[in-house]
Amino acid sequence: MFCSVPYSRAADAAIQSPLRVAIIGMVHGHVEGLLSGSLHRTDIRIVGISEPDQSVAERYARQFHLDKSLLFSDAEQMLRQTHPQAALVYTNTFDHRKAVELCARYGVHVMMEKPLALSRDDARAIEQAAQQGKIQVLVNYETTWYRSNRAVYDLVHEHTLGPIRKIVVHDGHNGPQEINVPPEFLAWLTDPKLNGGGALFDFGCYGADLATWLMDGARPTSVTAVTQHIKPNLYPRVDDEATIIVTYPSAQAIMQASWNWPFGRKDMEVYGQTGYAITVERDNIRVRRASEQEQQQTAKPVPPPEDDSLTYLRAVVLGGREPTGPSSLQTNIVVTEILEAARQSAASGKTIHLAAAD
């Protein structure tokens, strides 16, 4: 869960200064959203951007009128010259480990785009690097900042719905090629080495993250997954349809990940012993308890710094907040275990039983 930590006076003063951030990689298409939303923020200052593919860097530089002095082809050179306090990682997922290990050597905190890693080994290596470098590592999911998801979490932890029995999460769209993602983004999304799979990793991670958060970080006992190639002409190397079933001692979570839906969706259903809650886009929920009719409610706003990825990153780096909840490293190590087991299950046709944590 998120937890509120009182700030010291020193933290209050420090957090008034802009956070110096560097961008590592520009091949993840979410970087466009970052640039469009952050260049005019006064609480964030971008001090450097590294991207080996200069055609990609130059395209974004033209689009957002970036000062060419911000651009570097080498991430380590950028870190040495610009001294950022945090790095925002927009590489392919395979390169997350390398980016964190580099940042750890320079004492630079990291926030990366989801998911954390492609394997448990990489996730543990990231954890070790973070500990050695004394840095925080956060994972940014769009759904972390939805007030609807927070409202459902609160209902669960206020015991309004009773103990969780089933979680169903739907995430996806009609396909990365169909929605015209940038070519460099499409290239690695459809590469099993760089993305870990197709829809399984691209969208299955959202459900794994939300379920782990709702279950207070519990590791599941088993993972079963089925994947399909419904559009092999478009996605010959990776799955485009995936369903993951995760079991806990007294609950089940189902993650439906798709590149085949007619439109984008990110929503979930949580069924407790005495009621249910269903998210409706970002801001609304539908709730029904035993002996009551369903009601639709507008979720209350999430208080800062937990309402926005960069605001939360500032609170961690400048305010000393300990990361918890969907963005935290510990949550996302469990997410990686789920995704790796799902890939193994889909490939073998067998349920994967997770061993006790070591």
Report the pLDDT value the prediction gives residue 4, as an integer from 0 to 100: 44
Q: Is 246 within 8 Å of 208 (Cβ atoms)? A: yes
Domains, the chain, in order of start with CATH, read 9-142+309-323 (3.40.50.720), 145-302+335-353 (3.30.360.10)
Report the pLDDT value the prediction gives residue 16, as an integer from 0 to 100: 77
Report the pLDDT value the prediction gives residue 356, as an integer from 0 to 100: 75
With H, G, I as helix, E, B as strand and everything else as coil, classify residue 34: helix
Spell out where the chain has E strands.
19-24, 44-50, 71-72, 86-89, 109-113, 137-140, 164-172, 222-228, 241-248, 251-258, 265-272, 275-280, 284-289, 295-298, 352-353
In order of 127, 165, 324, 331, the CA distances from 217 in angstroms are: 16, 16, 10, 6
With H, G, I as helix, E, B as strand and everything else as coil, classify residue 176: coil
In order of 26, 89, 144, 314, the CA distances from 327 in angstroms are: 21, 14, 7, 13
| Nearest C-alpha neighbor of 241 from the set 346, 335, 141 | 346
Q: Is 242 within 8 Å of 200 (Cβ atoms)? A: yes
Q: What are phi and psi of 323, to 5 degrees?
A: -65, 135
Q: Which parts of the chain sit beneath pLDDT 50?
A: 1-9
Q: Is 151 within 8 Å of 283 (Cβ atoms)? A: no
Report the pLDDT value the prediction gives residue 14, as an integer from 0 to 100: 55
